[in-house]
């Protein structure tokens, strides 16, 4: 067994791996970029090694720097977590060449299963059913032979990037060109494959474990059908769709897929399943690493998958056979991401001012956060995972909804409230899931209106701040009570901005403390968490700021009527297409802001002249930071 293991990752997965290493008596080594110098995974490891500047290419993606960190810290093995280098065959080979054990599958298995075309051909030869389709160089011909609808997919990567659903064959050539561009940008390879589209499909995956002695077992399935933009957001184990016979058949197919590539360690075989006929399942791909959603399998099997990864990498045989594995109870996981549902799920960021993460009584939170953590735009937006376990699905769902209601991350907008509402949706409660469900119901679940009690609580906090401190005589004109000489008190309006600015007049009773505020409105008491100018309740959060209507009416730099273009999310300006003085047309693309693997184009709201331009390519910007000012043409002519 290893005495020291380097964890080549960050955030919640690094913390989670370190936890198991500690329980096994293994010394852990963390690595960190300059942006993560004070991060939780750095503090929890036994030792930590700086990699370099914040960009991933110069830190977490640098094979040379990670291998150097392993050598300097005395590590004998490297655990890659997921993301970054976890599915990089070149990195696995480099570890072996440096005399390090890569805690994962052989490099050849990573390379084979990382190529979706070769992977399909390999597992098909092993008797695993695959989705009918075709590949380059006869992609268009194969698509037309299949007939609409078809799904275009990059061969070299996943995560939804480059995927295109084609329902109208007249658009096929354009969609192929667009898919190639995105695949090339994301993976450096524009090779595509095409598959028959399965309407209202379910995404079900099988967890496998394999050792170096020829033993392969499966640990049952996970239902991952609740997705948004091809990204999983809720996962559960087991699936309500499968009966025991189908579970056994899919499990055996997953085992054969693992054997076909000489797999070793923990891996996941993903299947697409028609909701109306679960017996017709098809292989999609194999993820040659630990999955984000592995905790739900751990809770229903009682196995620590990270521990088994380490034991297998150390050469130990599996001590359990297929008949030893049973699934008990039900587990559901929700991914907490730094994104703002009310703004189209754009990435968010900021400083974590208050953090409350549920634990215990059937609830587990895997997190990389602490109060004071700076959530920036350089890395993946997932912050943590909240997982609930119960004897049955209804109990697990109820516990997870309660846990999300108790999750507080003030200072950074998250999707916790949205996920809580999703888990209460009737279709989810009934288990009637498919990969398109979230997109169909998303508008029902995004809270677009700010509840009146939020303004009441915000006004209470603002009024308390205006009240004079100290004893003795108080000038009545300095107290925000509406007092006036010779008349009855007038109501006091407080200018606030949550989404749109409002003038709000408090009308309820209130109690404000250091970290909470309670207001009673129409006989109903509402309690909020409070940190600086943030309020939170039931997983939702509101950033409340004072609103100065005079300053707002003048606009940026006092130019009456000038339109300020602001950053929709914290990120980095990657493209600037205009200069001060340029004439622009309505809808013209002016700048591109990138954050957390997402690009957002900033367009001109109207025809006009670029009056100010405050950024250049490479500029890091905060949410709502002014980027440029466009003076309308009609104003110039005035």
- Angle (deg, nearest 10), helices 305-313 and 294-301: 100
Residues of the chain with CATH 2.40.50.100: 559-637
Task: Give the H/E segment covering residue 535.
Answer: strand 534-537
Task: Enter the tokens of residue 167.
Answer: 């329902």
Find, among 38, 68, 13, the residue nearest to 376 by Cα.
38
Residues of the chain with CATH 3.30.470.20: 201-445
Q: How far apart are the first and last CA of the chain?
A: 79
The residue that leads in pLDDT, 600 or 243, is: 243
Q: How far is CA 347 from CA 413, 490, 546, in A?
A: 9, 42, 23
For the chain, the average pLDDT equals 91
The percent of residues in the chain predicted with pLDDT above 90, rounded, is 75
Q: What is the per-residue pLDDT for 470?
A: 59
Q: Which CATH class is domain 559-637?
A: mainly beta
Residues of the chain with CATH 3.30.1490.20: 132-196
CA distance 29 to 67: 12
Exposure b/e, 191-201, CB count within 10 A at least 16 = b: bbbbbbbbeeb
Question: Band of the pLDDT at 633, cuts 50, 70, 90?
Answer: confident
What 3 state SS string does 110-142 have? HHHHHCHHHHHHHHHHCCCCECCEEECCCHHHH
CA distance 506 to 288: 57
Exposure b/e, 524-558, CB count within 10 A at least 16 = b: eebebbbbebbbbbbbbbbbbeebeeeeeeebbee
Question: Band of the pLDDT at 552, cuts 50, 70, 90?
Answer: low
pLDDT at 556 > cutoff 50: no
Which superfamily is assigned to 132-196 in CATH? ATP-grasp fold, A domain (3.30.1490.20)
pLDDT at 585 > cutoff 70: yes
pLDDT digits (tens, 9 = 90+) for 505-535: 888 899 999 899 999 999 999 999 999 999 9
CA distance 41 to 16: 9
Task: Enter the tokens of residue 35.
Answer: 């942006």
Residues of the chain with CATH 3.40.50.20: 4-103
Q: What is the per-residue pLDDT for 472?
A: 60
Residues in contact with 438: Cβ distance below 8 Å, sequence separation at least 6, in sequence order: 226, 227, 228, 233, 422
Q: What is the per-residue pLDDT for 504?
A: 86
Q: Which CATH class is domain 201-445?
A: alpha beta
The residue that leads in pLDDT, 633 or 107, is: 107
* 280: phi then psi, degrees, rounded to nearest 5: -95, 75
Task: Enter the tokens of residue 421.
Answer: 């509402």
pLDDT at 557 > cutoff 70: no
Residue at token pair 């474990």: 209
Residues in contact with 519: Cβ distance below 8 Å, sequence separation at least 6, in sequence order: 453, 456, 457, 460, 508, 509, 510, 511, 525, 526
3-state secondary structure of 246: helix
Residue at token pair 């995927």: 163
* 222: phi then psi, degrees, rounded to nearest 5: -125, 135
pLDDT digits (tens, 9 = 90+) for 116-164: 889 999 999 999 999 888 888 989 999 999 999 999 999 887 767 788 9
How many Cβ atoms from other residues are within 10 Å of residue 627's Cβ? 21
CA distance 106 to 121: 19
Find, among 110, 77, 88, the residue nearest to 310 by Cα.
77
3-state secondary structure of 197: coil
pLDDT digits (tens, 9 = 90+) for 74-114: 999 999 999 999 999 999 999 999 999 999 999 999 999 99
Task: Enter the tokens of residue 176.
Answer: 């192929």
Residue at token pair 């989705």: 131
CATH number for the domain running over 4-103: 3.40.50.20
Q: What is the per-residue pLDDT for 447?
A: 84
pLDDT at 489 > cutoff 60: no
CA distance 233 to 252: 27
CA distance 210 to 264: 5
Q: What is the per-residue pLDDT for 494?
A: 80
- Cβ proximity of 484 and 494 under 8 Å: no
pLDDT digits (tens, 9 = 90+) for 419-465: 999 999 999 999 999 999 999 999 999 988 899 999 999 999 988 88
Average pLDDT of the segment spanning 595-610: 85
Q: How far is CA 25 from CA 19, 227, 313, 481, in A?
A: 10, 37, 16, 62
> What secondary structure does DSSP assign to 477-522, as a single string?
GGSTT---TTSPPPP--EEEESSSEEEE---SEEEE-SSEEEEEET
CA distance 381 to 347: 7
CA distance 366 to 253: 30
Q: What is the per-residue pLDDT for 558?
A: 44
């Amino acid at each position: 067994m290893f005495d020291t293991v380097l964890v080549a990752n960050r955030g919640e997965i690094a913390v989670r791996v370190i936890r198991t290493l500690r329980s096994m008596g293994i010394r852990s080594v963390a690595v960190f970029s300059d942006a993560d110098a004070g991060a939780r995974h750095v503090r929890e490891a036994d030792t930590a090694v700086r990699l370099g500047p914040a960009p991933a290419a110069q830190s977490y993606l640098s094979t040379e720097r990670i291998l150097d960190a392993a050598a300097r810290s005395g590590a004998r093995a490297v655990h890659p977590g997921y993301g970054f280098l976890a599915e990089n065959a070149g990195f696995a080979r480099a570890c072996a060449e440096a005399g390090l054990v890569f805690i994962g599958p052989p490099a050849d298995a990573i390379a084979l299963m990382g190529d979706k075309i070769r992977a399909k051909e390999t597992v098909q030869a092993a008797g695993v059913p695959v989705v009918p389709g075709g590949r380059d160089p006869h992609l268009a011909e194969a698509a037309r032979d299949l007939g609409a609808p078809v799904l275009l997919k990059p061969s070299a990567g996943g995560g939804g990037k480059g995927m295109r659903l084609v329902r109208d064959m007249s658009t096929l050539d354009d969609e192929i060109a667009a898919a190639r561009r995105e695949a090339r940008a994301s993976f450096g390879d524009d090779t595509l494959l095409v598959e028959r589209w399965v309407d209202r499909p379910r995404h079900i995956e099988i967890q496998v474990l394999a050792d170096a002695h020829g033993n392969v077992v499966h640990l049952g399935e996970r239902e991952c059908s609740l997705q948004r933009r091809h990204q999983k957001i809720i996962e559960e184990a087991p699936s309500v769709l499968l009966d025991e016979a189908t579970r056994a058949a899919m499990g055996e197919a997953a085992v054969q897929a693992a054997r076909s590539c000489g797999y070793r360690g923990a891996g996941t075989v993903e299947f697409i399943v028609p909701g109306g006929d679960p017996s017709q399942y098809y292989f999609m791909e194999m993820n040659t690493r630990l999955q984000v959603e592995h905790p739900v399998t751990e809770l229903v099997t009682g196995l620590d998958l990270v521990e088994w990864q380490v034991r297998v990498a150390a050469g130990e045989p599996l001590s359990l056979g297929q008949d030893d594995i049973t699934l008990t109870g039900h587990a559901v996981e929700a991914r907490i991401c730094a994104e703002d549902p009310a703004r189209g799920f754009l990435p968010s960021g900021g400083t974590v001012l208050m953090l409350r993460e549920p634990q215990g009584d059937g609830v587990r939170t895997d997190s990389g956060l602490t109060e004071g953590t700076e959530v920036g735009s350089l890395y993946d937006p997932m912050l943590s995972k909240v997982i609930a376990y119960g004897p049955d699905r209804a109990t697990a769902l109820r516990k997870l909804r309660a846990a999300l209601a108790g999750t507080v991350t003030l200072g950074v907008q998250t999707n916790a409230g949205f996920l809580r509402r999703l888990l209460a949706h009737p279709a989810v409660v009934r288990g009637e899931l498919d990969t398109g469900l979230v997109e169909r119901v998303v508008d029902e679940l995004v809270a677009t209106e700010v509840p009146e009690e939020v303004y009441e609580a915000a006004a209470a906090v603002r009024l308390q701040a205006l009240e004079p401190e100290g004893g003795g005589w108080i000038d009545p004109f300095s107290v925000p009570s509406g007092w006036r000489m010779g008349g009855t008190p007038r109501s006091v309006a407080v200018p606030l901005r949550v989404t749109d600015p409002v003038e709000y007049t408090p009308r309820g009773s209130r109690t404000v403390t250091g970290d909470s505020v309670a207001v009673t409105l129409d006989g109903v008491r509402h309690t909020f968490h409070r940190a600086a100018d943030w309020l939170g309740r039931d997983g939702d959060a509101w950033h409340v700021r004072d609103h100065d209507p005079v300053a707002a009416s003048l606009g940026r730099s006092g130019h009456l009527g000038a339109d300020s273009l602001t950053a929709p999310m914290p990120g980095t300006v990657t493209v600037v297409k205009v200069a001060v003085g340029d004439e622009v047309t309505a809808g013209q693309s002016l700048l591109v802001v990138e954050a957390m693997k997402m690009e957002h184009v900033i367009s001109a709201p109207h025809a006009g002249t670029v009056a100010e331009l405050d950024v250049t390519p490479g500029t890091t910007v905060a949410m709502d930071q002014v980027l440029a000012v466009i003076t309308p043409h009609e104003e110039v002519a005035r």
